[in-house]
Amino acid sequence: MHHTPLVILIASVLASGCAASHSNDVAVPPPRRAVLYQYSVIDGLLAGVYDGDLTMAELKQHGDFGLGTFNALDGELVLLDGVSYQIRADGSVRVAPDGERSPLGFATFFAPTQTFTLDAAVTLADLQAELARRLHPNAAYAIELRGRFANLTARSEDPGTRPYPEMAAHMAAHEHRFPLTNFEGVAAGFWLPPYLGRVNVPGLHLHCLSSDHRAGGHLLEFLSAGRLTIRVMELDVVELAISKHPDFQAVDLAHDRKRSLEQIEHTPR
């Protein structure tokens, strides 16, 4: 995937060099942009749109790192090193087939621009405070954590059945929390500004996977044990693919669902 863009870049530099000899314009090749690709919007999921047309194969064309969910809201999705993992309500983990579909997914090609470590035992709230100190409040970032955790709580949920209720109502009855101890693994996700709050999850949103690929989910809280390595990638562009699924086309998204998002994500900023 790196070879073709490089060839194009060289070709465009050569072409612009020729063009420059015939005019006063200095053509500069466009910089490579760090793109957060997303299919559909968080407000759709909150409103009960649990089905979409995004396949895992398509999601992976737009990134090797990210998160989301699956059709019918059948568990949590974490995309790591180009592999999409599904963590179901019973806590089981499997590699999702390429044809599996999703109503909501976020991805980028992860290329960290800064790395830092935290050696003291920290909680998710401590990490959020540290990120708030280090990062620009109105910028957007992909975030990866690696390390060991004395304890960690992840969650998944039962799939919905039609007619789908709004997500807050579904989660009140169907969320499953997994209190895990001595968890070693990785978490992938995003740190996004408040103004993206109706299309994505503002603040820190992480999905985790254990090193042995046997546990994970939407990350709710943790206490680290030993060194935690945090890699950060600043994003330049958000590319939003609008769902063409009939459920999405029919749903009423006129009002703000911020409060139900806070209730579900448990990730205050």
When the beta carbons of 235 and 261 are compared against Zn ion, the nearer one is 261
Give how many residues touch Zn ion by CB under 5 A: 1
When the beta carbons of 88 and 218 are compared against Zn ion, the nearer one is 218
When the beta carbons of 89 and 225 are compared against Zn ion, the nearer one is 89
Kindly write out the interface string for residues 102-141 of this chain, putting x where it contacts Zn ion by CB under 5 A and - elsewhere. ----------------------------------------
- Cβ at position 1, least distance to Zn ion in Å: 27
The interface region with Zn ion, picked from 88-96, 139-147, 212-220, 256-264 by CB under 5 A, is 212-220
When the beta carbons of 68 and 147 are compared against Zn ion, the nearer one is 68
- Cβ at position 12, least distance to Zn ion in Å: 39
Whether 194 and 256 have beta carbons less than 8 Å apart is answered as no
Closest to 189 measured CA to CA, from 208, 163, 215? 208
Kindly write out the interface string for residues 29-68 of this chain, putting x where it contacts Zn ion by CB under 5 A and - elsewhere. ----------------------------------------
**How long, in residues, is the chain?**
269
When the beta carbons of 141 and 225 are compared against Zn ion, the nearer one is 141
Distance of alpha carbon 142 from alpha carbon 192, whole angstroms: 8
- Cβ at position 188, least distance to Zn ion in Å: 11
Distance of alpha carbon 160 from alpha carbon 148, whole angstroms: 33
Question: At a CB cut-off of 8 Å and minimum separation 6, what does 63 contact?
Answer: 37, 79, 107, 108, 109, 110
- Cβ at position 107, least distance to Zn ion in Å: 14
Identified binder of Zn ion from the candidate list 101, 218, 231, 257, rule CB under 5 A: 218
| Contact status: 231 vs Zn ion (CB under 5 A) | no
Closest residue to Zn ion in the complex (CB): 218
When the beta carbons of 170 and 218 are compared against Zn ion, the nearer one is 218
When the beta carbons of 208 and 235 are compared against Zn ion, the nearer one is 208
- Cβ at position 205, least distance to Zn ion in Å: 6
Find the binding residues for Zn ion in span 181-200 (CB under 5 A): none
The interface region with Zn ion, picked from 85-93, 120-128, 153-161, 214-222 by CB under 5 A, is 214-222
Which positions lie near Zn ion, rule CB under 5 A?
218
